[in-house]
Amino acid sequence: MTGTSRSDIARISVARSAAVGAIVAITVLLGGCWTTKVYREPGASSQPPSKPRPGVTTTVRRGDTLFSIASRNGVRQQDLAAWNGIDPPYTIYPGQKLRLYPAGKGGSTVATRPPTTTTKPAATTPPAAAPAPKPAAPAASDIKWKWPADGELIGRYVAGEPTKQGVDIAGASGAPVRAAADGVVVYSGSGLVGYGELIIIKHNEQWLSAYGHNRNRLVNEGQVVRSGQQIAEMGRSGAPREMLHFEVRYNGKPVDPLIYLPKR
C-alpha cells in the first residue's frame, strides 16, 4: 500500500471490523425473523397411537368437545372420531355415548348420531271389554214337579233354540201322559203349529207346563188336574215318532225342565 500511512491502515481495519460486526448482527436478526415454528393439530402425531379399550364407553357432558374427550381418555381425536363414525367438524351432543374402541372389537354397538326426538302419543289404556252377561240364575220353584211320562230322554232344552224349548221323552203310542203338578188346564187343542195335540196347565201365576204331540187329549180347558193324573195319550201328532214334548215356562218364558224335574 504505497503512500498509505500507518494511521490510514488502522482506520481501514477499524472500518472493516465494524462492517463485519454489522453483517453478523444483521445475520442474527434475520435468522431470528425467519425461524419457523411448527404448529401441530391437537391429537395428531404428537400423541402416541391410541390404545383401544374394548367394551368401554364414555358419555358426552355439556361443554365437552371431541378433543377434550379424546385427551381425557388418552386417545387421539382422529381415532375417537373414526371409532364412532363422526365426521368433521366433529359435532357431538350431551348424553351421547362414545366407544373407546373400534366397532366390532367387543361390547355392544353404541349409537353415535344425535337421537331423533319424537313425540309419542300418550299411551291410552283400551277400555276394558264389558264382561259377558252372566246367565240368569234359574228361578226358584216351590212346586213339586213330577216326570210327565215314562221313557227315554231323547231331546234336551237348548236356550234360544225355538224347536228345543223343552225336553222330548220317547214312548209307545198310547202310553200315559200325566200332569207334572197340580193345576188348571188353560189350553187343550191343536191350534199351535209344531205341537200337534197340545195341553197347557197353569200351576200358579208364574208357572205353566205344556204337553205336545199327543195322540189323544183327555182333559178340557178349565179343568182342575192333580199331580200325576193322566191327561193324554202319547202319540206323534206333529212329530216324526211317538214322543212327548214337555215344556216348563216361568212368566211365559221357557226354562230347562231338567232343573226342576227330580233326578231319575
Calculate the alpha carbon distances from 67 to 38, 54, 55 in Å: 20, 20, 21
| CATH tag, 46-113 | 3.10.350.10
Any idea which residue has 357432558 for its cell? Answer: 61
Could you read off the pLDDT of 131-185 as tens digits, one per residue?
Answer: 666 666 788 999 999 999 999 999 999 998 988 999 999 999 999 999 999 999 9
CB 112 within 8 A of CB 81: no
Query: Can you state the percent helix, strand and coil of the chain, rounding each to 5?
Result: 15, 20, 60
Reported residue count of the chain is 264
Q: What is the mean pLDDT of each run of 10 residues along the chain (264 residues)?
A: 51 47 40 39 58 90 89 91 85 84 64 55 63 73 96 95 94 97 96 92 96 97 97 95 97 94 92
Kindly state the cell numbers that stand for 78.
382422529
End-to-end CA distance of the chain: 166
Residue 168 to residue 9: CA distance in whole angstroms: 161
Determine the pLDDT at residue 222: 95
User: Quick one: which H or E segment has residue 201?
Assistant: strand 197-202
Nearest to 87 by CA among 78, 96, 98: 78
Determine the pLDDT at residue 180: 98
Determine the pLDDT at residue 35: 38
Q: What amino acid occupies position 205? A: E
Question: Where do the domains of the chain lie?
Answer: 46-113, 153-259
The pTM score is 0.51
What class is the 153-259 domain?
mainly beta
Residue 255 to residue 250: CA distance in whole angstroms: 7
Q: How many CB atoms lie within 10 A of CB 155?
A: 15
Mapping DSSP to helix (H, G, I), strand (E, B) and coil, where does residue 180 land? coil
